[in-house]
Amino acid sequence: MGALIGLDWGTSSLRAFLFGADGAVQEQRHKPWGVMRLPLLPGEPAGGSAAAFERAFEDSCGDWLAAWPGVPVIACGMVGSAQGWREAPYAALPAGAQALSRQLTHVATVRGTTVHIVPGMIRRGPLPEVMRGEETQVIGVLEACALPSDDDVLIGLPGTHSKWVRVRERCLQDFDTFMTGEVFALLCAHSILGRTQQAGTAADDAAFRRGVSLALSADGQLGVLANIFSSRTLGLTGELAATAQADYLSGVLIGHELAALRRCRLDAGRSPTLVLVGTEDLCRRYAIALDAAGLEPPLLAQGVTECGLWRLACDAGLPGLSTPATANH
Amino acid sequence: MGALIGLDWGTSSLRAFLFGADGAVQEQRHKPWGVMRLPLLPGEPAGGSAAAFERAFEDSCGDWLAAWPGVPVIACGMVGSAQGWREAPYAALPAGAQALSRQLTHVATVRGTTVHIVPGMIRRGPLPEVMRGEETQVIGVLEACALPSDDDVLIGLPGTHSKWVRVRERCLQDFDTFMTGEVFALLCAHSILGRTQQAGTAADDAAFRRGVSLALSADGQLGVLANIFSSRTLGLTGELAATAQADYLSGVLIGHELAALRRCRLDAGRSPTLVLVGTEDLCRRYAIALDAAGLEPPLLAQGVTECGLWRLACDAGLPGLSTPATANH
């Protein structure tokens, strides 16, 4: 029996989950129809009309909706942005699952289904921060990892834009964004550093560690803008093979991210519980870098978006779901 | 009378100078024939054959060579790189004009002219540094600015790759490279930050200063990779106009460059003489940022490459030039 449809609808793709009454995922689908990549009809304007969102939703989940009439639907991610299906106002910090579940934005489809969109989160002030989708992953981490509720937790979500979220008493307290992944991709694809890089046959962890070490060393004080140039000069002086330069550069950038985190967000002598959420390769890299930075080994969490969607749907009391959910993730 | 031909031959362009016997530039030419952009004959391989360099040189200076037979020729820049006309081995630090002038590399042309190529400079070690062309600009600064010889001098050459060169006793002691200009261009052209930028009608110095201030503030401790994201989030929250975002981002990056320089290369309480060499707009930006960082106003130097080429040619004792030159630049 289908009890909930959950949508993880980001910029570049859409994942749809069908949950059973026990909160377990019974079926899932992955479509390339991100908010910026919706299939369009001839003459339809690009950039996501409501009709295009509705069509992508029907094409992904229409059979579920037909088989389980009245099944509730919850969605997170860029689908709630100004470029999304309906703009979902940001929730303010601090917030946990209950606060988020009280701030869902509704879209009614032609079929009569209501799609509930999870709010993103914002930190206002001189250095504003925003997220859309990661708040649901964090709620999922708290659900999936059974962390002691009084622990300070620091959750890293490495990716194109890495987020680091500080959690206390099961509430998101604050977070920071590092454009590490995007800068790495740009430097490899378009900068002078990419020109001397050659693809290796496997990840070069020694080169990666070397880059991390530079960032954490006294020479790291010269900053990212200077340190990245060494990926070229070490090549020119014969000290870094062309096949090692991309991994070295990745290490320099991730090392600087962790150095900044350690400098600004960690109290000396008091380490929070660290959790990583991301692809296997990225989590492996970040775990190596965390170790080099003298931090505790991180827990690795998987499948957290679906856990978070279930948790938020239950807390919101969507039709047919118990509140609070007792399903154990 | 032509006493010397000087070539400033970089990656993207070639500048040629004809000097009189007094060291004054009598004529100059600017060609788009950089080391990576040489005009090729049909079937000629890309990437700079000796024939292509020779042809570009003849096309630029052939009439000078014919008018002044035997006129000596000196060149600096990427023309001496592995991708250049002839690889000129790097000179080691520290070095001044006399040391550099003793390490010229020679290329003989078909016409029988000898082109003398100025060595680039290298710092070896775990964080190597290289330059080609800037060493000649620095020699030119020392020639053109008449700085007290016992001053510590810090010379900034902002650009795609900003160089900061420390000079003592008229010798280049050490230097650092920041990829500030290239990273700025990449972020504007290819990153998510560029997507919300709009061109303004004029440079927005207030936005630039705001970016510099962030980099120099406590929030700057979070580093470049985090701080640049604020160019987007300040836009999202309505606090930074689309037309101000590029100048703000420029400020964040240049601010981080100067923060690193201040942290690592300046002794507290003892300010070196600061000199800037670069385009008018860049020097203006850096002067604003230096002021925000509490540093002394910089001297601005112009026409330094030609001054440096003349000085090095004289110190090398090229035919017909007096050693040491007494011309006053």
The residue of chain B nearest to residue A182, with distances taken between CA atoms, is B191
Q: Which residues of B touch A257 (CB under 8 A)?
A: 223, 225-226
Place of tokens 């952009």: B37
Pairing of strands B4-9, B299-300: unpaired
CA–CA distance from B26 to each of A317, B4, B15, B329 (Å)? 84, 10, 13, 14
Inspect the interface and report whether the beta carbons of A186 and B186 lie closer than 8 Å.
yes
Average pLDDT, chain A: 93
- Which chain B residues are closer than 8 Å to A84 by Cβ? none
| CA A308/CA B56 separation, integer angstroms | 65
**Nearest CB partner across the interface for A177, out of B122, B124, B226:** B226
List of chain B residues whose C-beta atoms are within 8 Å of the C-beta of residue A161: 192, 229
Cα–Cα distance, A84 to A37 (Å, whole number)? 11
Shortest distance between the Cα of A265 and any Cα of chain B, in A, equals 9
pLDDT tens for residues B56-96? 999 999 999 999 999 999 999 999 999 899 999 999 999 99
Fold annotation for B179-265: Nucleotidyltransferase; domain 5 (3.30.420)
Complex ipTM, two decimals?
0.93
Least-confidence region, from A14-23, A240-249, B145-154, B157-166: B145-154
In the sheet that B105-108 helps form, which strands lie side by side, from edge to edge?
Answer: B25-31, B14-19, B4-9, B73-76, B114-117, B105-108
Task: Write out the two tokens for B108.
Answer: 């003989």
Chain A residues at the B interface, defined by Cβ less than 8 Å, are 122, 124, 126-130, 161, 176-180, 182-183, 186-187, 189-192, 214, 219, 221-230, 233-234, 236-237, 239, 253, 256-257, 259-260, 263-264
Contact A104, A91 (CB under 8 A): no
The listed CATH number (3.40.50.300, 3.90.470.10, 3.30.420.300, 2.40.110.10) that belongs to domain A4-149+303-315: 3.30.420.300
d(C-alpha A266, C-alpha A243), whole Å: 34
Q: What's B110-172 look like in SS3? A: CCCCEEEECCCEEECCCCCEEECCHHHHHHHHHHHHCCCCCCCEEEEECCCCEEEEEEECCEE
CATH 3.30.420.300 at B4-150+303-315, yes or no: yes
* Domain(s) of CATH 3.30.420.310: residues in chain A: 179-265
Using CA atoms, how far apart are residues B189 and A186, in angstroms rounded to an integer? 10
Q: What's the rounded Cα separation, in Å, for the pair B40 and B55? A: 9
Identify the CA nearest to B329 among candidates B308, B314, B315, B312.
B308
Contacts of A122 in chain B (CB under 8 A): 237
* Facing A222 at nearest CB: one of B176, B180, B182: B176
Query: Are the beta carbons of B214 and B249 closer than 8 angstroms?
Result: no
C-alpha distances (whole Å) from A111 to each of A18, A49, A191, A197, B41 are 18, 17, 49, 52, 67
Q: Compute the CA torsion angle A232, A233, A236, A241 (nearest 10 deg).
A: -60
Cβ(B203)–Cβ(B219) under 8 Å?
A: no
CATH 3.30.420.300 in chain A, residue ranges:
4-149+303-315
Fill in the amino acid letter for B172. L
Residue A12 backbone phi and psi in degrees, to 5: -110, -10
CA A39 to chain centre: 24
Of the candidates A186, A189, A260, which has its C-beta nearest B226's C-beta?
A: A260
Domain(s) of CATH 3.30.420.300: residues in chain B: 4-150+303-315
Do B172 and B138 form a contact (C-beta atoms < 8 A)? yes
Q: Residue A198 is encoded by which pair of tokens?
A: 């050659």
What tens digit of pLDDT does each residue of A183-214 get? 999 999 999 999 999 998 899 999 999 999 99
CA dist list (Å): A152 to A166, A292, A304, B136, B277: 7, 21, 19, 55, 50
The pLDDT value given to residue A151: 79
pLDDT in tens, A272-329: 999 999 999 999 999 999 999 999 899 999 999 999 999 999 999 999 897 654 444 4
Chain B residue closest in CA terms to A124 = B237
| C-alpha to C-alpha distance for A283 and A295, rounded to whole angstroms | 14
Find the DSSP H helices in chain A: 50-67, 97-101, 134-145, 180-190, 192-195, 205-216, 224-227, 230-236, 245-265, 280-292, 304-315
What are the structure tokens assigned to B265, written together?
């290369």
* Global pTM value: 0.93
pLDDT tens for residues A214-257? Answer: 999 999 999 999 999 999 999 999 999 999 999 999 999 999 99
